[in-house]
Amino acid sequence: MVGASTALFVVFLTHILTTRREERRHTRELNAEYKRWVRENRQHAYHNASKYLFRVAAMGSKTKKTDSIDISIFSDKDWYTDISEANAWLSTVHYYCSPEQYDAIGHIATEFSNLSNRLIGFRPTGTLAKAKFQQIISEDGILYYQNFVDFINQVENRVSNGSSHFRVKRTEK
């Protein structure tokens, strides 16, 4: 009787330990899958934010002007779509960025949003000072292209710097 009880106890204990081990393995797999999903979405967001920022900055090649551009007569709808896409992707980057980059990416995304609102005709108030706005676009809608490109490059650099914070370090086996 003692032998049967011991065997039953061993079987029961083995079952409990095996079940716990399987639950931990399943949890690790789910966590790894979630981390892969976040990393892929983050990479996608950084890629698209950079892509649309470059497209927005390439406006000068469309107008064949590199000094100043009158926004009121510039009618390339694709450019305005690219501005919207850049805004959306910068917001996504802000959502997926590392905690160390959260404030910096949020600040630059807000500045870009304020500038892009101004480009499409709104007069926003926000973190981008009026003096800085006027260095990029005048009150009467003249875009100072080099200042604009410099600002877009600042935004893109911040995004690129943020993307380097999530790269996976490979370890030697």
Does some domain include residue 149?
yes
Residues 6+ apart with CB under 8 A from 160: 46, 50
Strand segments (E) across the chain: 68-70, 142-144
pLDDT tens digits along 35-50: 999 889 989 999 999 8
Q: Has residue 154 got a pLDDT over 60?
A: yes
The number of distinct structural domains making up the chain is: 1
Question: Is 84 in contact with 122 (CB distance < 8 Å)?
Answer: no
Does some domain include residue 171?
no
Residues 6+ apart with CB under 8 A from 39: 166, 168
Neighbouring C-beta atoms of residue 67, cutoff 10 Å:
10
Residue-level pLDDT at 34:
92
Does some domain include residue 170?
no
Does some domain include residue 12?
yes
Does some domain include residue 75?
yes
Q: What is the pTM of this model?
A: 0.70
Residue-level pLDDT at 159:
81
Percent of the chain whose pLDDT exceeds 90: 20
Does some domain include residue 64?
yes
pLDDT tens digits along 80-91: 888 889 999 999
Residues 6+ apart with CB under 8 A from 166: 39, 42, 97, 98
Tell me what the mean pLDDT of segment 148-155 comes to.
85
Does some domain include residue 173?
no
What CATH number does residue 118 fall under? 1.20.120
Tell me what the mean pLDDT of segment 141-152 comes to.
82
Residues 6+ apart with CB under 8 A from 69: 59, 60, 63, 142, 143, 145
Strand partners, 69: 143
Q: Which residues span the domain enclosing 145?
A: 2-164
Does some domain include residue 172?
no
